[in-house]
Chains A and B, each alone.
Chain A
Amino acid sequence: MDLRFRDAVPTAEERDAVDALLGPPADGWRGGERDAAGLQHARGGHEARDRRDLLLPALHAVQDRLGWISEGALDYICRRLSVPPAEAYGVATFYALLSLRPAPPRAVHVCTDLACRAAGSGDLVAETTRRLGPAGAPVNGATWHESPCLGLCERAPAMFITEAGDSPSAVSAGPVNADEVVRAVRTGAGALEPEAPPAVSVPQAGSEDLVLLRNVGMVDPADLDAYRARGGYTALRRAFDLGPAGVLREINDSGLVGRGGAAFPTGRKWSATAAQPDHPHYLVCNADESEPGTFKDRVLMEGDPYALIESMTIAGYATGCHLGYLYIRGEYPRAEAALLNAMATARERGLLGDNVLGRGYAFDIELRRGAGAYICGEETAIFNSIEGERGEPRSKPPFPVERGLFGKPTVVNNVETLVNVLPIILRGGPAYAAIGTGTSTGTKLFCVSGSVAEPGVYEVPFGATLRELLELAGGVRENLRAVLLGGAAGAFVRPDELDVPLTFEDTRAAGTTLGSGVVLAIDDSTDLPGVLLRIAAFFRDESCGQCVPCRVGTVRQEEALVRLSAANRGAGANGHAAADIALLREVGQAMKDASICGLGQTAWNAVESAIDKLGTFQEGAS
């Protein structure tokens, strides 16, 4: 490509960070030293351009080493990968965790999202601001930011610390107080207590009833032998015995549906992908768990990483894939490390690679790290992100099973969905289908947080009631005001509706959704308009910006909520509340009807349900 570069020059360190990922430059035409022997020929073209998918990893490499991405560094990446600088800039600025302006090496992200908000992150932020200055201001080699949900809701309020350098680090912590935040900003994660083991997030750990969580807390997640001793990799052997068609039959028979929120039948998705004549096929594991209030996938990955690797291998086998991508959100360093270790050890033992288990099937996994963009969890945005494009959702049709990653047939599954494959293969589809209800089969993980005694991930068969789940979590701490089901894109349930069975069909009938399994209990000490405002701010920040209803609608929604909240506090005229609610409804309807993807389509759900079911902003309500 006839790319044009400006005059910025990368530092040796920036080059080194990129070269550590990509290897040395092929020649002087692609970022290398000008080589006297190579001035009369060049290899380039398609070859030079076909690793665009390494753009995001290369941006991470520089961000991790230097704490920010200078123009020289960006240009160097562009030379190495033949990517136009303007495009690379567009990609880099898409992600909240990448900085294109000078930033200190250490960044502390303090979660202000739903669960952390309920747990007092407001005071935490106020205190931090008082002691360190406003968010974003540099403090002695560090800076701190407010952050959307970090997926540590069972340990709210939480923070996430990244430290750039030769050996970059990223650490999650929670619950934290202002002292700890200040200490982290001033001296780094080393000054904190080590993070508690994954089992603390699973109050049921060790229980005989657990299916998906059975290994969490019971095995060393870094120990492949321990995993195998608990029956690991027997499902893969059984899958090889069944053959791809047999696996598909079991999955179909199991009635498994996707756990990412859309509840699409997994068997249908797999069968459709397997049947596509176009090759190669790709598997994408969606571990970009970013729905506020959701942390189940993190716990699975941290506590039982081999289960996911084995599940992906079976999924790849059944659908005709030889390469799977595991896309994990950037705020999950411990899960990422666990998975990288699991992949490496599995590879060493022939459980990934050219000849898995000696059965003649080749399959491997590439892990890709997100960089702070909720939208990349959308099933087509994740493709764009992996491909090195902006993580914008694609228009459907075509659907991923026809044209997905790199334009090829692709099966995309959420982490929890995939790990269900193991019990299905081991027990058989029909036996699995006997668990739960007729249309919601199996067990489900719920991310219980907020005003409960024991927040954490809980596994119950479909059909358990919300009340039973809350009781399992030690009951509600204070007077329950509402329960938010499904996260920011979900809807509220009133205290008088707690007997709703937790199934896809029953929650839908009750005007709410299971979504990603978020169960956020809100007591009456919580400022509900504030919760709604946080949800609105979240969507305004996380909208990719492609379509007008979502891009501008989320802005107008937040503005109206600001007015309504002010009026609610008595800080503004209340006379326009009805007009603003009407405005919200109209904007919300257009977002729901006309947005490209689920983000915009659901951005008004929670607000709508608060208004309609809880009476928020109505006369005399709060």
Chain B
Amino acid sequence: MTQSVDLGLPTRLVDVTIDGETVRVPEGATVLDACEAAGLDIPTLCYGDTLTPKNACRVCVVEVEGSRTLVPSCSRQAAEGMVVHTDSERARHSRKLVLELLGSSVDLSTTPRADEWMADYGADPDRFGPRAEPVQAGARDVLHTGHHGEPDGATAATVEQPPKVDNDLYVRDYGKCILCYKCVDACGEQWQNSFAIGVAGRGFDATISTEFAAPLTDSACVYCGNCVEVCPTGALSFKTEFDLREAGEWDESRQTETTTICAFCGVGCNVSLHVQDNEIVKVTSPHDNPVTHGNLCIKGRFGLTHVQVARKERRGREPRED
């Protein structure tokens, strides 16, 4: 379906210097690709391997000689002769500040690696003052663009608010949202083309929102969960995961992940079943799969989880006849 045409053109290679080491990467590769080739582990949040880089979070910035400002490694193409410093004082400073600014305004408790990076960069999100109390549900959905009340300086503003639970399949916990745009891009033109959500408002008051902040059940959402697939912080999560976490029973060390093929239509989507205690608790799809690119539809994403429950219930009722 997506096999590319081999045009027979040789890929040109470019040499870039990363922290003093010369790395050769194919033309078109990003600085981040080059850093990975050099064995470096650059933190990323808004970068998604199935999405066009938005370079919004700026946690992956590096210093490129000749550039006035720091450069987002996830989106900048490596160019011949480019000299990159990933660990300079300037680069580390901005990364640390990005982590602190996010950490002070967003609940990063379910963001993979956030704690590790905070420690690596010596980030202290608490130094902006005590966190402001979470606002009431919906309060951040009706802010007046371009107008905000003057802060009192006593607390650090956050985006924290109660989770939005308006359907049985997935939960939107926007107190954990870093506004990376990945869900919007996955729902929009890059993959799903349902456009159920967009970024609304502006600046710190911007939110991920349906039109007029309508409940998901009244929106264009088709519950493909492709937004959940790309969410880097756990702001979007399966209801099963959300409930298990609430109950304190979510335990990734007890989970297995097995990739198989969806049981529904003939497209052959690869589904990775995350199983805890012989229950499917989450379904993802491999991002490098040529059929799905990490995407599924409602049936593959959620229909399988419940099929198992339904089957158990049905089997429980029926006598075995074998």
| A residues apposed to B, CB below 8 Å | 1, 3-4, 6, 71, 74, 84-91, 93-96, 98, 100-101, 135-136, 145-146, 148, 372-373, 390, 395, 397, 533, 537, 540-549, 551-556, 558-560, 562-563, 566, 572, 583, 586-587, 589-590, 592-596, 601
Whether the Cβ atoms of B127 and A583 lie closer than 8 Å is yes
Pairwise interchain contact A596-B55, C-beta atoms closer than 8 A: yes
CB distance from A460 to the nearest CB of B (A): 29
Residue B204 lies at the interface, judged by CB distance under 8 Å to chain A: yes
Q: Cβ of B81 < 8 Å from any Cβ of A?
A: no
Q: Which of B58, B70, B76, B200 contacts A93 (CB 8 A)?
A: B200
Contact: B153 with A556, CB < 8 Å? Answer: no
Q: A90-B199, A552-B102, A562-B153 are in contact. Are A547 and B147 (CB under 8 A)?
A: no
**A84 and chain B: residue at smallest CB distance:** B195
Structural contact, A590 and B94, CB atoms closer than 8 A? yes
- B97 and A100: CB pair below 8 A? no
Q: Determine the distance from Cα of A586 to Cα of B188 in the docked complex, in whole angstroms.
A: 36
By the criterion CB–CB under 8 Å, are B69 and A551 in contact? no
Looking at the assembled complex, report how far the CB atom of A527 sits from the nearest CB atom of chain B, in whole angstroms. 14
Asked if B90 CB lies within 8 Å of chain A CBs, one says: yes
The residues of B with any CB-CB pair to A shorter than 8 Å are 53-59, 61, 69-70, 72, 75-77, 90, 93-94, 97-98, 101-102, 104-105, 127-129, 142, 144-148, 150-153, 156-157, 178-179, 181, 188, 193-206, 209-212, 214, 218-220
Residue pairs across A and B with Cβ atoms less than 8 A apart, 23 shown, are A1-B193, A6-B212, A6-B219, A74-B211, A90-B200, A93-B201, A101-B142, A372-B146, A397-B77, A543-B204, A544-B203, A544-B206, A545-B201, A546-B179, A548-B57, A551-B179, A552-B101, A555-B151, A559-B153, A563-B153, A593-B93, A594-B69, A595-B58
> When the two chains form their complex, are residues B156 and A556 in contact, meaning their CB atoms are under 8 A apart?
yes
Cα distance, A101 to B212, chains bound together (Å): 9
A546 touches B128 (CB 8 A): no
A interface, over-half SS: helix
Q: Do A86 and B220 contact each other (CB < 8 Å), given the known contacts A93-B202, A551-B206?
A: yes
Kindly list chain A residues whose C-beta atoms are within 8 Å of the C-beta of B128: 556, 559, 583
**A545 contact set on B, CB distance < 8 A:** 179, 199, 201-206
Expressed in whole angstroms, the minimum distance between the Cβ of B209 and any Cβ of chain A is 7
Q: Distance (Å) between the CB of A128 and the closest chain B CB?
A: 15
Residues B204 and A555 in contact, CB atoms below 8 Å apart: yes
Q: Which residues of A contact B55 (CB under 8 A)?
A: 395, 547, 596
A537 touches B153 (CB 8 A): no
Evaluate whether A559 and B202 lie within 8 angstroms (CB atoms) in the complex, with A548-B59, A549-B94 already known. no
Cβ A541 vs Cβ B151 within 8 A: no
Q: Which residues of A contact B194 (CB under 8 A)?
A: 84
Alpha-carbon separation in the docked complex, A85 to B178 (Å) = 23
Known contacts A586-B97, A590-B97, A590-B98; decide if A548 and B58 are in contact (CB<8 Å). Answer: yes
Docked-complex contact B157 and A559, CB < 8 angstroms: yes
Beta-carbon contact of A88 and B211 below 8 Å: yes
> What is the distance, in angstroms, from A511's C-beta to the closest C-beta of chain B?
16
Q: Which residues of A contact B220 (CB under 8 A)?
A: 3-4, 84-86
In the assembled complex, the Cα of A389 lies from the Cα of B275 at a distance in Å of 41
Nearest-CB residue, chain B, relative to A97: B146
Tell me the smallest distance from the CB of A395 to a CB of chain B, in Å.
5
Cα distance A203–B53 in the bound complex, in angstroms = 50
B148 touches A390 (CB 8 A): no
Known: A4-B196, A590-B93. 8 other contacts (CB 8 A): A84-B194, A87-B198, A395-B55, A545-B206, A546-B56, A556-B156, A589-B93, A596-B56
Q: Is A89 in contact with B198, judged by CB distance below 8 angstroms?
A: yes
Residues of chain A with a CB closer than 8 A to B196's CB: 4, 84, 86
With CB as the reference atom, state the residue of chain A lying closest to B76.
A397
Q: Is the interface of B mostly helix, strand, loop or mixed?
A: loop
Q: How many A-B residue pairs have CB under 8 A?
A: 201
**Across the interface, do A93 and B145 meet the contact criterion of CB distance under 8 Å?**
yes
Q: In the complex, which residue of chain B has the Cβ closest to the Cβ of A90?
A: B198
Q: How far is the CA of A321 from the CA of B204 in the complex (A)?
A: 38
Residues of chain A within 8 A of B197, CB atoms compared:
86
Contacts of B157 in A (CB 8 A): 555, 559
A537 & B150 in contact (Cβ 8 Å cutoff) = yes
In the complex, A544→B202 CA distance in Å? 5
A594 touches which of B77, B94, B179 (Cβ 8 Å): B94
Contact at A551–B212, with CB atoms within 8 Å? no
- Say yes or no: A551 contacts B203, CB within 8 Å: yes
Chain B nearest CB from A435 CB (Å) reads: 29
- A587–B102 Cα distance when bound, in Å, is 12
B56 pairs with A547, CB closer than 8 A = yes
A548 pairs with B98, CB closer than 8 A: yes
A86 CB contact (under 8 Å) in B70, B97, B209: B209
Docked complex Cα distance between A566 and B150 (Å): 12
- Bound form: Cα–Cα A552–B188 in Å: 25
A545's nearest neighbour on chain B, judged by CB, is: B206
Chain B CB count within 10 A is highest, among A4, A372, A551, A563, for A551
Chain B residues near A90 (CB, 8 Å)?
198-200, 209
A71-B212, A537-B148, A548-B59 are known contacts. Are A586 and B93 too (CB-CB below 8 A)?
Answer: yes
Per CB-CB distance, the 5 closest pairs between chain A and chain B, nearest first, are A96-B146, A84-B195, A90-B198, A590-B97, A545-B206
Contact across chains for B72 and A395 when beta carbons are under 8 A apart:
yes
Closest to B144 in A: A136
Q: How far is the CA of A7 from the CA of B195 in the complex (A)?
A: 18
> Contact check: which of A87, A533, A542 meets B146 at CB < 8 Å?
A542
Residues of A within 8 A of B200 (CB): 89-90, 93-94
Provide the residues of chain B in CB contact with A555, threshold 8 Å.
Answer: 105, 151, 157, 204
Shortest distance between the CB of B289 and any CB in chain A (Å): 25
B151 touches A558 (CB 8 A): yes
What B residues does A547 contact at CB under 8 A? 55-58
With known contacts A541-B148, A543-B203, A593–B61 Cβ distance under 8 A: yes
Choose among A86, A146, A148, A373 the residue that contacts B210 (Cβ–Cβ < 8 A): A86
Rounded to whole angstroms, the CA-CA distance of A562 and B154 in the bound complex is 9
Residues of B within 8 A of A397 (CB): 76-77
Chain B positions within 8 Å of A558 at CB level: 150-151
B69/A593 in contact, CB under 8 A: yes
Closest to A592 in B: B69
Q: Which residue of A lies closest to B59 (CB)?
A: A548
Q: Are B147 and A593 in contact (CB under 8 A)?
A: no
Known: A89-B209, A548-B59. A390 touches B153 (CB 8 A): no
